[in-house]
Amino acid sequence: MSFIFELVSPDKLLFSKPVVMVTAPGYNGEYGVLAGHAPAITELVPGVIGIYEQSDHTLSSRVFVTGGFAEISADKFTVLARNAIDVSELNKEEIAAKLKEITERIKTTDTEEELKKLDEESKILTAKLQAAA
């Protein structure tokens, strides 16, 4: 059985097709969505969305999201992502260099607001690095 999966970023609709399964990164870990899923609205954390178009055993594509929200119904799963990028486009060396820079800035920051911003950026970069590995 299939259902419609839509992935939307702030500037465009990135994906809208029938799929068999989708996995998404949530606060309590990765979760899977199949046709007939119970209705839910969830918040996403930085991580990878796995899209299975033909079979729940064959991954079709992987998309990194920096967070967002998801709405699940029995026949549709919609993700409103803050930002989204195909995992194949992630550059491991570039991400590692940015993470190192952020880590150094965290050590020297003196404001709570700046620390919070840098910590959030660090979490996103860490998740990107894991996705790119």
Domain count, the chain: 2
Element (H, E) at 90: none
Q: How much is the pTM?
A: 0.90
Would you give the distance in Å from CA 57 to the centre of its chain? 20
Asked if pLDDT for residue 75 goes beyond 90, the answer is: yes
Q: Is residue 83 located within the same domain as residue 94?
A: no
pLDDT band of 133, cuts 50, 70, 90: confident
Q: Is residue 97 located within the same domain as residue 67?
A: no
pLDDT band of 13, cuts 50, 70, 90: very high
Q: Tens digit of pLDDT for each residue in 87-129?
A: 999 999 999 999 999 999 999 988 999 999 999 999 999 999 9
- 48 neighbors 89 (Cβ within 8 angstroms): no
Between the alpha carbon of residue 74 and those of residues 47, 81, 116, the distances in Å are 24, 20, 37
Q: What is the CA radius of gyration of the chain?
A: 16
- Which whole number is the average pLDDT over 4-18? 95
Q: Is residue 53 located within the same domain as residue 110?
A: no
Q: Which residue segment(s) compose the domain that 72 sits in? A: 3-87
Other CB atoms within 10 Å distance of the CB of residue 82: 14
Q: Is residue 66 located within the same domain as residue 114?
A: no
Annotate 4-14 with b (16+ C-beta within 10 A) or e (fewer): ebbbbbeeeeb
Q: Is residue 26 located within the same domain as residue 37?
A: yes
Q: Is residue 111 located within the same domain as residue 56?
A: no
Could you tell me the CATH number of the domain that includes residue 20?
Answer: 2.60.15.10
Element (H, E) at 53: none
The pair phi, psi for residue 76, each rounded to 5°, is -155, 145
Q: Is residue 65 located within the same domain as residue 96?
A: no
Q: Tens digit of pLDDT for each residue in 20-69?
A: 999 999 999 999 999 999 999 999 999 999 999 998 889 999 999 999 99
Q: Is residue 68 located within the same domain as residue 128?
A: no
pLDDT value for 102:
95
